[in-house]
Chain A
Amino acid sequence: MTLSQPASTLTPSVIVECEYLVIGSGAGGSVAARELARAGHDVLVLEEGPLANTAEFGETSLSNLTRKLYRNGGIQPFLGKPTIGFGEGSCVGGSTVVNGGLIWRTPERFLDHWKTRKQIHGYGTDDLTPHFEKIEQALGVQHHTFPDTTNLDSQALENGCNALGWKIVPVPRALNGCVQANQCGAGCPSGGKQSMLVSYLPDAVSHGARIFHGARVTQLHQSRGNITHVSAQIDDDGGTRQLKITPRFVILAAGAIQTPFLIRKSGIKSVAGNRLEFHINLRFAATFREPINAQQGTIFTTQVQEFIDDDLLIMATNYRPSYVAAALAHFDNTTLQRFMDNQDHGGLFVAQVRPDCTAQISTRFGKNPVVKYQLSKQDIIKIRDAMEKTAELLFASGATEIYLPIQNSASIATLDGVRDVVRKLSPKALQMISVHAMASCAMGIEENSAVDTNGKVLGVDNLFVCDASVLPSNIGESPQGTIMAIAHEIIDRHLQQ
């Protein structure tokens, strides 16, 4: 059975009817599609991006996969000082196709915060645990072990943490037969990573859901508190065509940026997208005394959680020549060539920071959202601190030289050298990326919330949000597990009503 059909096979002049329209096929949309189809409902999924398959992930170059699987070919900025490159999947399976497959349960401190400070009930540990258990079982989530001769980059961090007395933990991942191709960010060529493409979506289709790719929903039309119909646009060789869908219910799962954009653009809720929360990734390259052959391994197997309550996590990341080149693009050619000549001694590492600032999504510039943010003073302190701590750990792990994510910096061989550069750091010179955005339509009990605690858009009876947007806040960890658990809860509540 084909997982998804090109939307161009839908006859545009015909109005497409369905009981449930799910917009977006990522982490949240896949849960909605599968659970609704399993409950016997008529489900239509519209996905803007293309369909890709596992075989293609092994045969195509990383750069062409990046262009195919990511929104805007991976070139999407959060505007600010400095501009942050934001990565978001746009294909059948959404960002889960390009992500690391880490599935964490929501940290307790945020669940407590939602309950006690935000008065959001029904999303505590006891409520979400059954959902996490279901997800973990469906995706084969566990702490996988790999041969000792691989993942030496993660092992080096472990040695460093042991020397410093810092906390490091194994990571839970959604894997079934990982061959350590080390290209999680461009689709898994063995099908081992259990993205939505190979797990929830095929299950949804086997229960009758229909998926169409290559259709971008452009407008939700509302009348008297109901979505009456939805417009979508299909771009193919035949040009641009419009599609009209008349669903009974709409489940919006287009991700943390596109979901609020669509709500606002359709004139439904102006608060949507006013506060987008996100993580910042600072990428470090390091050269080690001994070869660590970092390419032989998976994305990472351990995560440093010593500073999790200070909003900092440290880990290794995918190591392939083109990823290294991208991470070192802000260095001159001689430095880059020197690192590349010694590739088997090198590793790439990430410090993930949860900033205090939020971003704003603007709908004023044509057909696409613009995202703007500004670091706070506290964020700059957090970033400086993250750099120093990561450098301290890397040196303790056996690194001889460190390459900081700072424009025009040189490679540095001592911790004092790093501290000196970090002290003088101008924020504008930072090289930052982000791959986690959330809470842009945070559920809440206030009248001015965009979405209530059942995931329903306030003031519209048949419109629900079921993706990263609806998280009550930034959770400081990789969000896919939480997004899926909350999506399960929202759909369960809806089906019970």
Chain B
Amino acid sequence: MPKANPQDKAKPEFLASLLAAMFQDIRVATPIRILQSATYIKNSLDQVPPPYRYGLKICPLLANLVSLVMFGRPIQSLKDCHVPRLIATLQKTPILEGYCKLVRTLGLISLYDTTGTGRPS
């Protein structure tokens, strides 16, 4: 099982490992696609200004917390946890559900992405 190393949390690679676990039984989820998805998600979320970023069904404090988990500095309570357990925690916490839903939706969109001509992106 992959482990979440606090030092890695700022990188899309960390998000990619989360996504790989989240999408492991989806056939198009190849490593390269997963990394593309992770970068896409990170860039998309960066584009959302507050308060919308917070408005994804979560209060500012918790949004911040999830952002830290997903993209940023270490959070003591979640340090070193297993990636699948981390996902399960995020998905089960009702207040974080909106955020997880969004990450999942964005991830899936980019996993199945094609260009305007129908070619894989």
Q: How far is the CB of B100 from chain A (nearest CB, A)?
A: 10
Indicate with 1 or 0, residue by residue over A173-196, a CB within 8 angstroms of chain B CB atoms.
Answer: 000000001010011010000000
Measured between beta carbons, the chain A residues less than 8 angstroms from B25 are 333-334, 337
A495 at the interface (CB under 8 A from B): no
> Does the CB pair B44–A62 fall under 8 Å?
no
> Does the CB pair A72–B49 fall under 8 Å?
yes
A61 to B112, CA, bound (A): 10
B115 at the interface (CB under 8 A from A): yes
Measured between beta carbons, the chain B residues less than 8 angstroms from A365 are 50-51
B43 at the interface (CB under 8 A from A): yes
The residue among A75, A183, A328, A368 with the most chain B CB atoms within 10 A of its own CB is: A75
A83 to B28, CA, bound (A): 29
Measured between beta carbons, the chain B residues less than 8 angstroms from A329 are 101, 104-105, 108
Total A-B residue contacts, Cβ distance less than 8 Å: 123
A83 to B48, CA, bound (A): 16
Measured between beta carbons, the chain A residues less than 8 angstroms from B47 are 67, 72-73, 75
Interchain residue pairs with CB less than 8 A apart (6): A62-B121, A72-B52, A82-B57, A83-B56, A321-B114, A368-B52
Which residues of B approach A to under 8 Å, CB–CB? 23-28, 40, 43-45, 47-52, 55-57, 98, 101-102, 104-106, 108-118, 121
Chain A count of residues within 8 A CB distance of the other chain: 45
Closest 4 CB pairs of A and B: A61-B121, A325-B108, A58-B116, A321-B112
Measured between beta carbons, the chain B residues less than 8 angstroms from A63 are 40, 106, 109-110, 113, 121
A326 at the interface (CB under 8 A from B): yes
The residue among A65, A82, A326 with the most chain B CB atoms within 10 A of its own CB is: A326
Look across to chain A and name the residue whose beta carbon is closest to the beta carbon of B58.
Answer: A83
Q: How far is the CB of B20 from chain A (nearest CB, A)?
A: 12
Measured between beta carbons, the chain B residues less than 8 angstroms from A321 are 112-114
Q: How far is the CB of B109 from chain A (nearest CB, A)?
A: 5
Measured between beta carbons, the chain A residues less than 8 angstroms from B108 are 322, 325-326, 328-329, 336
